Structures are given as C-alpha cells and as structure tokens.
A and B are shown apart, each in its own frame.
Chain A
C-alpha cells in the first residue's frame, strides 16, 4: 500500500508539471488548430537559459523563471510572426504545412543547443535539492513539491488571465470561432502571436522548474513534445481543463507503470494510453465532461 501511495504521490506531483506543459500545447492547438511539435524543444531552450544563469551567474533556478519565461515569450513571438503566420498565405497542397514547420523549428533548436553546449548531460542543484518531506509514510522530495506548487500557481494565474481579462477573452473567442471573433473586432493575427508566445513561456516555466529534477541534454525536447501531445489528446484537443486532467493522468500512469512494470516501460505507458484514447474515447476527457 505504501508503495502504491508513494507512486501515486510522485505521479500527481510530476503530473502537475505535465499539465503546465500540456496547457501551452492545447492553447496553441485551440487557437491555431495546429499541433506544435516544437513544444518540448522550446522547453529545452528554457532549461538551457536557466542552466546558463545558474552555471555562470549562480542564479537560483526558481528565480530565473523571471528570465526564462519572458525570453521564451519573445522566441514564441518571433516564431509565430516570422515563421508560422506567413504560411497562412502560401498556397500549398499539404494541409499540415505549419506542423511540418514546427518540426523544422524543433530540429533547428535542438541542433543549435548541441552546437553550443555539446551533447553532455548537465544538471543544477539548489539549496533544497536533497531535502525530503514526509507525509505520513510517504516521502516527497523538495524540488518536486516546489515545482508542483509553482506549476499550480502559474496554471491558476493563466486561468484568471483567460477568464477575466480582455485579452484572455479574445484568445478564448478566437479558439471557439475564429471568423466570428474577427468580425467582433478581434485582431486574430495578433492573438495567434500572443497565444504561441504564451504557450512557449508556460513550457519554459515547466522546463525551469524541472531542471533541478532532470538531467539536461539537447535531445530532451523530443520526448516532452510527445508527452505534451499525449496529454493534449487525452484531455481533448483545445481544452485547457482537459489538459490539466490529462497531465495528471499521464503523470500517475507513468509513475504506476514504472513501479509495477519496470522503468523501461515508463515511456511506453503514455503511448498505450494514447492509442486506447484514440480507439475508445476519441475526443478525450473533454467528451466526458461536456465543458
């Protein structure tokens, strides 16, 4: 029982961070209708920014959230403005042009990181790195808990932004019906830029809080891109609430899978869920709640 609770707890903790990754992806999916296959790679860039700040300026990873998020916001603006939006105007046979473009962007980001930092594994330590909390018989390690708390806080701020501010409402309107939103005076070109940048900033935050937990290397982006879309499919395309449930479900499933089947199956659990959802619950968890 303790083993089960322990896996469950660490699953929920990592799931909170997965949710943060998934929300960015699902926002982009909702507004632009494309899968951002550079999502994990953007996270990788955020992690390297945090790493550089830590290694050269000795800045604590949690404080560098204030740098990595704005930096990735800018990267997101540039990508959407100069690489993705121009594609809307190009006549092409393939409908998935923008998705292909994000694949290209992901490859370029990974290779640039490899150029600068080589393929070596990097890691950071914080003051709390080796601290452990106890909750009854369950042990929780401190960086995970802090990362979870930050992820939840950012998610709450995002929801406040989406529900209460004008800009947030415009984003939701564009996601619901682009043409109607445009007719109501929403500048949809600007909204796509902001959404992509927001998604990039959120995933950068996830990367930053994950850095004290994971090793960092240029290829870390790929697996996280895949996780992000598993979450998106699981939660229902374009649903932010779904992404939270999707993230937590994936976190728990991975954690239990690793405990009961073995470490090497950890990655596979996500894909099995993905296939099961596609077969039995197309539309994802969103379908169950009707939100």
Chain B
C-alpha cells in the first residue's frame, strides 16, 4: 500500500517536471497526446472494462466534443475554450441518446450500434456544411504558442479523469457496474436497475471523452470529420489503449496510452528514421497486428497479465 503511493507520487512528480527538463516541442507534443489518450482510454475502460459494454464508437463522443468547441468558436465567435465546458455535456447528451436506443437490447447490439453511430456522425459532419464546414474542417487560432499551458491542462485533465474513475469504482456504483458485467440477470435479480447504471457508466464515459475532444480542438486548432470521427484512429485506438494496458484496471489504460503513442510514433517516424521510408506507411498494419497479438496472448493487458509477464522474464535468469 505504502509502496504504491510512493510510486504514484514519483510518477506525478516526473510528469509535472517533464516539460521543464525536456524542452523539445516534439517530445512535449507526444506526451500531451499520450495524456489525452489517458483520458479517452480510461473513459472507454469505465464503460467496456468495468461495465462490460464494449463500445466500438468512442469517436462519436470525441468528435462531438471537438465539434462543439469548434462550432462555438466558428459560428458563435466565442473562445473555443468554452468547448471545454460544453464539449463534455454535449457528448454526454449524445451518449444518453445512444444508451436510450441500445441498452434496451442485449449482447452485441451495443457494440454494433456504436459503430453505426460513429459512421452516422461522420456522415453528418461531412454533409451538414453550413454548420460544420464539411470536409474543409474547422480551423481556429491557437491561444498559446508555448506547449506548456496545453501540457499542464492535459495533465490536469488526465489526473482528474483517473481520480474520478477511481472514485466511481470504489463507490457503490462501481460495484453495480462490475456486477452488470459479470452477470446481468443476477444483478437484475438483486434489484439493481441495470439499464440505469449502464447509462450512468456511459454518461461518465462520454463526458470525459467529449472533454478530451474539446481539448484536442483547442490544442491542434484544426479538425475535420475524417480525423475526429475516425473509426480506426479514434474508436479502435481507444479499444487498443484499453486492452493493451489492461481492461478493468485503473492504471491499465494510462499505461496503454503511453505504449500506444510510443508504438504509433515509432512506426510513423520509420523507427526514428533508421528504417526505410515504407515503414512509416505500415503503422496501420502494425495496429492491426497488435490487436491480434494482444487478444491472443495478452487478453488482460500489461497490467492484468503482469504476473504472467514477470514469470516469463524471470524464468530465464
């Protein structure tokens, strides 16, 4: 117990000091993205890992948050930072609608409906040009030139989200969520309103993902439908972050976010420019192979299968 607190304090200190030590914009950028993914991966994990409702469409909430911020700046002329306040709320409303449609059915319907929702939102964002500018995308001016404010904001968001997820999972709600995942009928028979608590889980999850989306809009200053509503680069990435780190653990998605950003960037930069150029085009292939590998051999992720991994390395001294 005490040892883990020391480790947490150490990690927190390292993350706070990181941008003061490492001045490179490039590495700061990578850590900012990783921190954003901590939020999204954690949100996905709350819904899928703990509550057992596997979402294939977290891009819906991410994109809704991002577009809320973008449209506020673009159409109403107020700062896109208001999106940080409203992005989460609109994403949660969208989440409620999806939950209302899907949670009356069981099994794979939710997974399917979330994919469909992702595609519907992408198509809407593409075709409703008077609101979203369509394929042109929305561009705003970045507020800060330095990366430091964004870095600390992302850190704050990531820490806040993990704190909330931890709090929720230690509360009564957390036990309801897990009971729904383990056996919905048993949970129902014990008097748990399973539909209500699935929606609660979805609400929290979509809220934080929407916040992350609004942050993305402010930080990148440019969005278009194919980036923020992308099935592969947002929805599938959220799943990967969750399962590679370890589903149904608080630290899993956080670790997964750093691993995934690391892997993605390693391949995007052709293994730091050492490998030939075609390697940089293969990062989607690597993603796919990683999904297959992780599911076959590390179904519970790095954190969940940590004892297994430790044994593997200790066996040959």
**Interface of A toward B, CB cutoff 8 Å:** 34-35, 37, 83, 86-87, 90-97, 99-101, 103-108, 110-112, 114-115, 222, 226, 229-230, 233, 264-265, 267-268, 271-272, 274-275, 278-279, 282
Contacts and interface: CB of A to CB of B under 8 A. Distances in A.
A226 B295 contact: no
Nearest to A34: B108
A271 B120 contact: yes
- The residue in A96, A233, A272 that gathers the most chain B C-beta atoms within 10 A of its C-beta is A96
Contact of A87 (B54, B105, B287, B295): B295
25 contacts: A35-B108, A35-B111, A37-B115, A83-B292, A92-B295, A92-B299, A93-B181, A93-B304, A94-B243, A96-B54, A96-B108, A99-B54, A104-B288, A104-B291, A107-B232, A111-B284, A114-B281, A115-B285, A222-B231, A226-B115, A226-B116, A226-B119, A233-B109, A268-B127, A275-B113
B49 A93 contact: yes
A169 to B, nearest CB: 26
A233 B285 contact: no
Contact of A108 (B247, B289, B296): B289
A189 B186 CA distance: 30
A111 B282 contact: yes
Given A35-B111, A100-B243, A278-B101, A93 B292 contact: no
B123 interface: yes
A105 B288 contact: yes
A165 to B, nearest CB: 29
Interface in B280-307: 281-282, 284-285, 287-292, 295-296, 299-300, 304
Interface residues of B, number: 45
B247 A93 contact: yes
B109 A278 contact: yes
A272 B243 CA distance: 31
Contact of A95 (B52, B101, B126): B52
A257 to B, nearest CB: 12
A224 B175 CA distance: 39
Contacts of B275: none
B48 interface: yes
Given A90-B299, A96-B111, A97-B299, A105 B292 contact: yes
A104 B285 CA distance: 9
A110 B287 CA distance: 12
Contacts of A101: 291-292, 295-296
B104 interface: yes
Nearest to A232: B112
Given A93-B247, A265-B127, A278-B113, A86 B291 contact: no
A262 B138 CA distance: 25
A108 B52 contact: no
A94 B247 contact: yes
A1 B127 CA distance: 28
A90 B123 contact: no
Nearest to A97: B295
Nearest to B50: A93
A207 B126 CA distance: 27
Given A103-B291, A265-B127, A268-B124, 11 more contacts: A87-B295, A90-B299, A92-B295, A94-B49, A95-B52, A100-B291, A104-B289, A104-B290, A104-B292, A108-B289, A230-B116
A274 B239 CA distance: 23
Contact of A100 (B109, B289, B295, B304): B295
Contacts of A275: 101, 113, 116, 120
B259 interface: no
B112 A229 contact: yes
A97 B108 CA distance: 11
B111 A99 contact: yes
Contact of A91 (B52, B104, B299): B299
Given A104-B292, A226-B116, A94 B54 contact: yes
- The residue in B102, B124, B282, B288 that gathers the most chain A C-beta atoms within 10 A of its C-beta is B288
Contacts of A92: 295, 299-300
Given A92-B300, A108-B292, A226-B116, A103 B285 contact: no
Interface string B179-204: 00100000000000000000000000
Nearest to B120: A271
B56 interface: yes
A229 B114 CA distance: 12
